[in-house]
Chains A and B, each alone.
Chain A
């Protein structure tokens, strides 16, 4: 496994590429992604939090905007927790596509907002069980924004949050059914 981080030196933010690589290595080991190369290209010109992830059989490409790794209390400073979360979210998404029953999932850009929220819930639930600090209420709020503010939606959220194994077909069906119930 080789992990590369670009840029090597940051001009817009006070981030450390070696630190990002160390965190990424640790997370990759925790997730059993030691047999694949990982390339992390940070776009430091945007403060937004989006992360693009692309996967082939031999390479995971993670492209976070700088806000995804930032300490929201101290603008332009790197946060260890945010970096860990960004790496774990990206790598779990990649692992799902590679070997987690998500082969049928559309490309990230083609996911609907409810589908993306359901997948993110599945990812964050598993991260919370890796002893990484995750704000469950924030994930619930995002799920509600995409599936409705009602008991049926909350029930499905809990189900997805607590599962350790679900396929894309099962997850997308859960999301679609919740939308039908909320309509």
Chain B
């Protein structure tokens, strides 16, 4: 079986249509107002109070579904891509195998939640950016990219969806997201613990991994879709992140990256919209 599989080779059937983060960022349209004079709504938080709440929740649910597939593929590849003992400790690979099992269960749960909410598999484009973060050839960078950045994002997303279900009175959504959230906290914790352990005597490698995580965290802010601003649809779930081993400073750093990404995206949108008008 092939090792270090590139994102282009992910196996999908004809129901799926994959797009890259570059495709997504090339879209000059914006749900957030590019300038202060805009009359568009100022809050994009995913709550039932939004008129388009059902559509938005369905779309996010599909994003979670494909994200779970990619997380499964990422954790599974880490078990396979690295030699046991030499490149990755057996315990680390055992944890990744457990994570792969969790993600497989999440895929099934998300699939059923999609049915419940009225969407089909492949109804929305699949952004492959999550798996891209899982393509590093250093297992420590995988831990930083997948377990800390990707699964950290999952904590934010599941917290939002759980709250959405709670507010809307949807018992299935609330229950399922709560259980998956608990798993994600564990996955982040595994990543934090192994990253510390594996780089115990290699501060340079640890620094590199944390820098990589920072880059991925900014990428996963999706142009400001996750930040403390109400203009972002997702907030930062500080409490659950702390339970997963993120320090307050790390959470503040992620919050800062989210706001930076939002401002950069707004500037990009203003530029693209001005160019389109000329």
A and B bound?
yes
Residues of A within 8 A of B (CB): 11-13, 44-50, 66, 72-76, 113, 116, 135-142, 144-145, 148-149
Check A138–B125 contact: CB distance below 8 A. no
| B59 close to A12 (CB less than 8 A) | no
Take A46-B31, A47-B31, A138-B119 as given contacts and tell me if A73 and B52 are in contact as well, using a CB distance cutoff of 8 Å: no
Give per-residue flags for B47-80: 1 if the beta carbon is below 8 A from chain A beta carbons, else 0.
Answer: 0110111110011000000000000000000000
Q: Which residues of B contact A46 (CB under 8 A)?
A: 29-31, 40
CB-CB under 8 A for A144 and B27, given A12-B276, A75-B125:
no
Task: Pick 10 A–B contacts, CB within 8 A, sort by A.
Answer: A12-B28, A12-B276, A48-B52, A50-B52, A73-B123, A73-B125, A138-B117, A141-B118, A144-B170, A149-B169
Given A12-B29, A138-B58, A113 and B51 touching (CB < 8 A)? yes
Contact B118 A138 (CB under 8 A): yes
Q: How far is the CA of A73 from the CA of B66 in the complex (A)?
A: 13
> Which residues does chain B contribute within 8 Å of A44, judged by CB atoms?
29
Q: Output the nearest chain B residue to A138 by Cβ-Cβ distance.
A: B118
Chain B, Cβ-Cβ closest to A66: B29
Main secondary structure of the interface of A (DSSP, over half): loop
A74 with B54: CB separation less than 8 A? no
- Report Cα–Cα, A114/B116, bound state, in Å: 20
**Given A74-B17, A75-B125, A141-B118, list of 7 further CB < 8 A pairs?**
A50-B52, A75-B27, A137-B116, A137-B118, A141-B58, A144-B170, A145-B170
Q: Does B196 contact A (CB under 8 A)?
A: no
CA distance in complex: A47, B34 (Å): 13
A44 nearest CB neighbor, chain B only: B29
Nearest B residue to A46 via CB reads B29
Interface hits, B100-115 → A, CB 8 Å: 115
Q: Which of B53, B54, B116, B119 has the most CB of A within 10 A?
A: B54
Chain B contacts of A142 at CB under 8 A? Answer: 54
Q: Would you call B29 and A11 a contact (CB within 8 A)?
A: no
Within 8 Å CB of A66, what residues of B?
29
Residues of chain B within 8 A (CB-CB) of A145 are 48, 53-54, 168, 170
Residues of B with C-beta under 8 A to A45? 28-30, 273
CB < 8 Å: which of A49, A74, A116, A141 contacts B116?
A141
CA distance A44 to B170 in the complex (A): 33
Q: Tally inter-chain residue pairs, CB-CB below 8 A.
A: 83
Chain B residues whose CB sits within 8 angstroms of the CB of A149 once the complex forms: 168-171
Whether, in the assembled complex, B202 has its beta carbon less than 8 Å from a beta carbon of chain A, the answer is no
A47 to B40, CA, bound (A): 12
Q: Contact: A75 with B24, CB < 8 Å? A: yes
> If the complex has contacts A50-B52, A73-B17, are A11 and B117 also in contact, measured as CB distance less than 8 A?
no
Say if the beta carbon of B245 comes within 8 Å of chain A: no
Cβ contact within 8 Å between B118 and A139: yes
- Residues of chain A within 8 A of B27, CB atoms compared: 12, 47, 75-76
Contact of B23 with A by CB under 8 A: yes
Q: Are A73 and B30 in contact (CB under 8 A)?
A: no
Minimum C-beta distance from A36 to chain B (A): 26
Shortest Cβ gap from A37 to chain B (Å): 26
State the Cβ distance, B33 to closest chain A Cβ, in Å.
10
Closest 8 CB pairs of A and B: A138-B118, A137-B118, A142-B54, A11-B276, A73-B17, A47-B29, A72-B124, A141-B118
Complex Cα gap A46–B276 (Å): 14
B19 contacts A by Cβ under 8 Å: yes
Write the chain B residue with the least CB distance to A13: B29
- Cα-based distance from A172 to B55 in the complex (angstroms): 23
* Interchain nearest-CB distance for A66 vs B (Å): 6
Residue of A nearest to B116 (CB): A141
Q: Which residues of A lie under 8 Å from residue B125 when comparing CB positions?
A: 72-75
For B277, give the chain A residue with the smallest CB separation: A11
Distance between Cα atoms of A132 and B23 in the complex (Å): 31
Which residues of B lie under 8 Å from residue A50 when comparing CB positions?
Answer: 51-52
Residue of A12, A72, A75, A140 touching B123 (CB-CB under 8 A):
A72
